[in-house]
Every structure is written in structure tokens, then in C-alpha cells.
Amino acid sequence: MDGAPLAGYPPLDGELTVDVAVVGGGITGLTTALFAAGPGARVAVITLTGSLGTTGHATGKVTSQHVSSATT
């Protein structure tokens, strides 16, 4: 992480209308957004650029192997 460049995304230009806004793009935020994104739901994840928080220093990940068969 020390040598990885931060991604450069432009700020939101204009307004955005969503059903769910998740603040934080770490493992908890992305998991929340994944489960909130039901059929027809519009979800936005609002986060800092790069891995600056807890998940950036952990082994957290979201993959299909970590979702129980009851939720798929």
C-alpha cells in the first residue's frame, strides 16, 4: 500500500438520486451496499479514495464464496 497510487475519481457533478446511500467503502459498507441493492434499488457508496481505513489493513474481502447459499 505504501507505493500504490491513489485512484483519481472526479467529485460528483450535479445531483444523484438513490434509494440507499452507504457511507464508507470498506468491507462493511460494500457488504451493506450489496445486500441493499435489491431488484430496482439504486445504491450509492460514498467513500474516500483508496484504502485508508480498517479494511485497507485487514484481510476483508467480498467474493461469491463468502455469501451463504440461503441468500443467493
pLDDT digits (tens, 9 = 90+) for 19-64: 999 988 878 888 899 999 988 899 998 887 655 555 555 555 556 6
Residues 49-59 pLDDT 10s: 655 555 555 55
Give CB contacts under 8 A, 24+ apart, made by 56-63. Answer: 56/1, 56/26, 57/1, 58/27, 60/26, 60/27, 61/27, 62/27, 62/30, 62/31, 62/34
User: What are the residue boundaries of the structural domains of the chain, listed by start?
Assistant: 17-49
Q: What's residue 39's pLDDT?
A: 84
